Amino acid sequence: MAVSTTLCKRLELIIARPHLQIFAKLFETAGVTGWTAMKTAGGTGTSGIWREDQLTGADEHVVVLAIMDAAAAEAVLEEISTLFARYPGVVSVTDAQVLRPERFSGQPKKADQ
């Protein structure tokens, strides 16, 4: 028996923890119906090695995962590119096959909602 899946987009962000609410608002406005943020322990990138500072949390980062339909992904990526002009971060986009596609398709939230 073949299981039917639907193609969606999976966005993965690595951002500074203090900026999480800014990106959460972006997801909400674009109609993304859910996302998950996970703590990180450290990493390396163009700025060199970083580790979570358990004392102050100054270098705390989160990985944010969100699955959405292609239209929402396009809208989110457009906004993220603007935010990345002010806030550091990394984003990757991959295809994801999902069951229950109705859980991953949303409509942009109207300003008065």
> Domain locations in the chain?
12-98
CA distance 95 to 70: 9
User: How big is the CA angle at 55 (ends 50 and 59), to the nearest 5 degrees?
Assistant: 30
Sign of the CA dihedral running 16, 19, 25, 26? negative
pLDDT of residue 109: 54
Q: Which CATH number fits domain 12-98: 3.30.70.120, 3.40.630.30, 3.20.10.10, 3.40.800.20?
A: 3.30.70.120
pTM listed for this prediction: 0.79
User: Tens digit of pLDDT for each residue in 16-69?
Assistant: 888 999 999 999 888 888 899 998 877 777 777 766 665 555 568 899 999 998
Strand, coil or helix: 113 = coil
User: How big is the CA angle at 106 (ends 68 and 72), to the nearest 5 degrees?
Assistant: 45
pLDDT number for residue 45: 74
**Mean pLDDT over all residues of the chain?**
83
